[in-house]
C-alpha cells in the first residue's frame, strides 16, 4: 500500500553549498525523519509561487517552525526582537486556510501553531520574557532547548495520543496570547502558557508549541499520518 503523502512547509533562507552562498529552500531533516518514521512519505513545500493546487497531491500537511508571524496579521506593531518573513506568512496562510476548509489533517509546530492561532483570529505574545518574567521557554545559556511539563485537557486529541502530561523541549520567544476560535488543550503548569491548540470541528487540526521532531517521541506525527490515511479510506498506518 502507498504511504500517505505529507507536505512539509520549508524556509527560504541564505545558505552555503560548498563554496557558494545562495538563496535556498531549507528545512531541518528531523521533520522529514519524523514523517517517514511515522509511516508517511514527506514532500517539501517551498514558500515561493504558492498555490493551493499542491493540496490535491498530498494527504496531510505540517506547518513548521521558523520566523515570527508578522504582528500586522493580528493588528499589532512589532516588538524590536521580532523577525518576520511576510512572503512565507502569505504562502502558508493560503495553504492553511485551504487545508482547513478541505478538512485535511494539519499539524502545526512552534511557529506553525502560532500561525494557526492567527489564522483563527487569535494573537500572540511577541516577547515572552516581558510577559512571563522569565526566559525558561528559550534559555539564553546552556543547551539549545529548555525543558518543562505540559498538561493536556481530557477529551482532546493531544490527551488521546500523549496522555495526561509529557515533558517537552522548548525554544521560542513568542507564545499564544489568544487562541481565537481554536481550543487551547495543553498548558505549561509553571506559568499557564498555552502549549497546544486544536480545532475539534475538524478531523485533525493540532498545533503544539514544542518541537517533537527533535525528540524520539513521534506520537503526534503518527496520529497525523494515520488521520491522513483515514482521509483516503486506508487502514491505520503501522508505525515502523
For the segment 186-210, what is each residue's pLDDT rounded down to a tens digit?
A: 999 999 999 999 999 999 999 999 9
**8-state DSSP, 81:** T
Give the active site residue among 92, 195, 198, 213: 213
CB atoms within 10 A of CB 144: 11
Asked if 45 contacts 9 with a C-beta cutoff of 8 angstroms, the reply is yes
Give the active site residue among 92, 110, 158, 224: 110
Grid cell, residue 106, equals 494539519
pTM of the model: 0.95
Q: Is 148 helix (H, G, I), strand (E, B) or coil?
A: strand
Percent above pLDDT 70 for the chain: 97
Please identify which residue in the block is written with the cell numbers 494573537.
123
Question: Does pLDDT of 237 surpass 80?
Answer: no
Angle, in degrees to the nearest 10, between helices 29-37 and 219-231:
60
CB atoms within 10 A of CB 224: 29
CATH of 5-231, one of 3.40.1190.20, 3.40.1440.60, 3.40.50.880, 2.40.40.20: 3.40.50.880
Give the active site residue among 125, 172, 211, 224: 211
Q: In whole angstroms, what is the distance from residue 218 CA to residue 225 CA?
A: 11
User: Does the active-site annotation cover 158?
Assistant: no
Q: Confidence class of residue 140 from pLDDT cuts 50, 70 and 90?
A: confident
User: Does the active-site annotation cover 213?
Assistant: yes
Residue 119 Cα to chain centre, angstroms: 13
User: Does the active-site annotation cover 190?
Assistant: no
Amino acid at each position: 500500500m502507498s504511504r500517505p503523502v505529507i507536505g512539509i512547509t520549508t524556509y527560504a533562507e541564505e545558505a552555503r553549498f560548498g563554496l557558494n552562498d545562495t538563496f535556498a529552500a531549507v528545512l531541518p531533516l528531523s521533520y522529514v525523519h519524523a514523517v517517514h518514521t511515522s509511516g508517511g512519505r514527506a514532500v517539501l513545500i517551498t514558500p515561493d509561487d504558492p498555490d493551493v493546487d499542491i493540496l490535491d497531491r498530498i494527504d496531510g500537511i505540517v506547518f513548521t517552525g521558523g520566523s515570527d508571524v508578522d504582528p500586522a496579521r493580528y493588528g499589532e506593531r512589532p516588538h524590536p526582537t521580532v523577525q518576520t518573513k511576510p512572503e512565507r506568512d502569505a504562502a502558508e496562510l493560503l495553504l492553511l486556510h485551504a487545508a482547513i476548509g478541505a478538512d485535511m489533517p494539519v499539524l502545526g509546530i512552534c511557529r506553525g501553531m502560532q500561525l494557526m492561532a492567527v489564522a483563527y483570529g487569535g494573537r500572540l505574545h511577541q516577547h515572552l520574557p516581558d510577559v512571563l518574567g522569565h526566559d525558561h521557554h528559550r534559555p539564553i545559556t546552556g543547551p539549545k532547548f529548555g525543558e518543562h511539563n505540559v498538561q493536556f485537557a481530557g477529551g482532546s486529541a493531544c490527551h488521546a495520543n500523549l496522555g495526561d502530561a509529557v515533558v517537552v523541549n522548548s525554544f521560542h520567544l513568542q507564545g499564544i496570547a489568544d487562541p481565537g476560535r481554536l481550543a487551547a488543550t495543553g498548558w505549561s503548569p509553571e506559568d499557564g502558557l498555552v502549549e497546544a491548540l486544536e480545532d475539534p470541528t475538524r478531523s485533525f487540526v493540532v498545533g503544539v508549541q514544542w518541537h517533537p521532531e527533535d525528540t524520539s517521541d513521534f506520537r503526534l506525527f503518527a496520529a497525523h499520518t494515520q488521520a491522513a490515511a483515514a482521509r483516503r479510506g486506508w487502514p491505520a498506518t503501522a508505525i515502523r
